[in-house]
């Protein structure tokens, strides 16, 4: 038990001894201990136990869209917890926050995506979409349609289905056995998607799943016209199209959902993260009317899929307040405008710093590729992004490195960020690149 008087060193020791961090370099954690033990957050800032304050340039895990320390969120959580913290949504039980949130999400989701299945996070949402797609085809009398196609640099989470769909190979190699019937295609090649569908047999494919903008794979925007063609191919072969909006949902890219940039509507859309801005654990899948009506018409007996926390009243109440804040504070428009400033800032850095290659952003999600040679795009033998992340943190900015077959810095600040704060982020990055270039060039 950590006592009030526990020193920071004791916290570090306890962290190393008892806390297995998710997605971490475990040896490094044991050698160095935690880099920050955060204590509080306000707006775009986080403060640690030593009193250091830094800009949370990743909105923590791409999710704290409304920023830290929004007291209304705490109030609504307290109120709902005191009234009814939890009740089951299984079978015919229901609760008001879940009903109201499902209706609200139906009203903001694109097209005819109108029926919501709740989960506790992104991985569960993707597993749910995969299982619902496969179950759908069983009900439709096409039991052979069980294969799932996804893209090579995708990240869909760590539940077994979500990991199997994840294109980033190290996640699948983490165990020596992964679920069957998953296929990965080059994320920028429509031709390859068509080829794999035809090779495997369209009548065996249940669904195609993709992030509108890949996050953990390095912030990759799709090629021009990509999702329009995906929609057409899915329609041509009768394949369900699923978008993973776990990062890109709830204003991150300057529209409510990322797929809106590309003018098509998927059959299912997965969400999590920004639905509560991380103030509670919640995710879900939105189904279109056709799938929902088919489930109603064709299901025999119980839909045997559900999590204890599906439709959690407190989490749903928190999500409703989060969406109210996003709308009241015009955070989607802010994401669009500040995103343009962030991209302009990246371009300025690109023209000044020899090791900056491609830069990109859409709304408040962005990436900077690090290169040894701007002309050829050749990278450094040892990736520099982790070194840049450490230097940026020292200078007061949290960002993240992506080093799977690349050398990239990624950013996703809270959507409440101001123009001046975007400028400050760029200043810090300028200092950071200058320092690292001085060391290596
Ligand atoms: N899908 C995408 C696109 C993600 O970025 C993530 C997490 O970063 C997930 C799914 C998994 O979500 P969770 O960590 O909530 O299970």
Element (H, E) at 285: strand 283-288
**Which atom of ligand 1 approaches the CA of 216 most closely?**
5
User: Which residue has a Cα nearest atom 10 of ligand 1?
Assistant: 156
Q: In angstroms, what is the span from residue 247 Cα to ligand 1's centroid?
A: 7
8 A C-beta contact, residue 344 and residue 350: no
Q: Measured on CA atoms in the order 72, 77, 82, 88, is the torsion positive or negative?
A: positive
Reference 128, options 110, 108, 145, 148; nearest CA is 148
CATH fold match for the domains 35-66+330-440 and 71-328: no
Within 13 Å of residue 406, how many CA atoms lie on the same side as its CB?
Answer: 19
Q: In angstroms, what is the span from residue 284 Cα to ligand 1's centroid?
A: 12
For the chain, the domains span 35-66+330-440, 71-328
DSSP state, residue 229:
H
Q: Residue 309: helix, strand or coil by DSSP?
A: coil
Domain 35-66+330-440 of CATH type 3.40.50.300: no
**Could you say which of 3.40.190.10, 3.40.640.10, 3.30.70.2190, 1.10.3720.10 is the CATH number of the domain covering 71-328?**
3.40.640.10
Q: pLDDT tens, position by position, for the chain (441 residues)?
A: 445 456 999 999 999 999 999 999 999 999 999 999 999 999 999 999 999 999 999 999 999 999 999 999 999 999 999 999 999 999 999 999 999 999 999 999 999 999 999 999 999 999 999 999 999 999 999 999 999 999 999 999 999 999 999 999 999 999 999 999 999 999 999 999 999 999 999 999 999 999 999 999 999 999 999 999 999 999 999 999 999 999 999 999 999 999 999 999 999 999 999 999 999 999 999 999 999 999 999 998 999 999 999 999 999 999 999 999 999 999 999 999 999 999 999 999 999 999 999 999 999 999 999 999 999 999 999 999 999 999 999 999 999 999 999 999 999 999 999 999 999 999 999 999 999 999 998
Report residues whose beta carbon is within 6 angstroms of any ligand 1 atom. 61, 121-123, 126, 155-157, 211, 215-216, 244, 246-247, 272
- Model confidence, pTM: 0.97
For residue 363 the two structure tokens come to 């709304």
Q: In angstroms, what is the span from residue 283 Cα to ligand 1's centroid?
A: 10
């Amino acid at each position: 038990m950590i006592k009030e008087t526990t020193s920071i060193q004791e916290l570090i020791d306890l962290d190393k001894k008892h806390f297995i961090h998710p997605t971490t370099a475990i040896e490094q954690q044991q050698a160095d201990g935690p880099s920050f033990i955060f204590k509080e957050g306000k707006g775009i800032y986080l403060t640690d136990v030593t009193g250091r304050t830094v800009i949370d340039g990743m909105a923590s895990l791409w999710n704290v869209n409304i920023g830290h320390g929004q007291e209304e969120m705490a109030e609504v959580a307290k109120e709902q917890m005191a009234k009814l913290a939890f009740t089951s949504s299984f079978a015919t039980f229901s609760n008001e926050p879940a009903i109201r949130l499902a209706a609200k999400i139906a009203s903001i989701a694109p097209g005819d995506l109108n029926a919501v299945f709740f989960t506790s996070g992104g991985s569960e949402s993707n597993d749910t979409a995969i299982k619902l797609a496969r179950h759908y085809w069983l009900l439709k009398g096409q039991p052979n349609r069980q294969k799932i196609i996804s893209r090579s640099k995708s990240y869909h989470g760590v539940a077994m289905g979500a990991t199997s769909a994840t294109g980033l190979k190290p996640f699948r190699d983490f165990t020596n056995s992964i679920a069957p019937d998953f296929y990965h295609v080059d994320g920028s090649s429509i031709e390859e998607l068509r080829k794999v569908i035809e090779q495997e047999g369209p009548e065996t494919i249940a669904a195609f799943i993709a992030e509108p903008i890949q996050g953990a794979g390095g912030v990759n925007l799709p090629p021009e016209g990509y999702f329009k063609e995906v929609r057409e191919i899915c329609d041509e072969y009768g394949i369900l199209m699923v978008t993973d909006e776990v990062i890109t949902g709830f204003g991150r890219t300057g529209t409510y959902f990322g797929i809106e940039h590309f003018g098509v509507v998927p059959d299912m859309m997965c969400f999590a993260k920004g639905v509560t801005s991380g103030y509670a654990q919640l995710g879900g899948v939105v189904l279109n009317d056709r799938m929902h009506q088919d489930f109603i018409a064709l299901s025999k007996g119980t839909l045997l899929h559900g999590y204890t926390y599906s439709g959690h009243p407190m989490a749903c109440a928190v999500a409703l307040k989060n969406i109210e804040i996003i709308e009241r504070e015009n955070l989607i428009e802010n994401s669009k405008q500040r995103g343009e400033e962030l991209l302009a800032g990246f371009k300025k850095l690109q023209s000044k710093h020899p090791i900056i290659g491609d830069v990109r952003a859409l709304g408040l999600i962005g990436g900077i590729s690090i290169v040894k040679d701007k002309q050829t795009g050749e990278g450094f033998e040892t990736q520099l992004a982790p070194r840049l992340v450490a230097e940026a943190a020292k200078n007061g900015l949290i960002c993240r490195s992506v080093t799977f077959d690349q050398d990239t810095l990624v950013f996703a600040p809270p959507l409440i960020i101001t123009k001046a704060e975007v400028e400050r982020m760029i200043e810090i990055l300028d200092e950071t690149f200058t320092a690292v270039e001085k060391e290596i060039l």
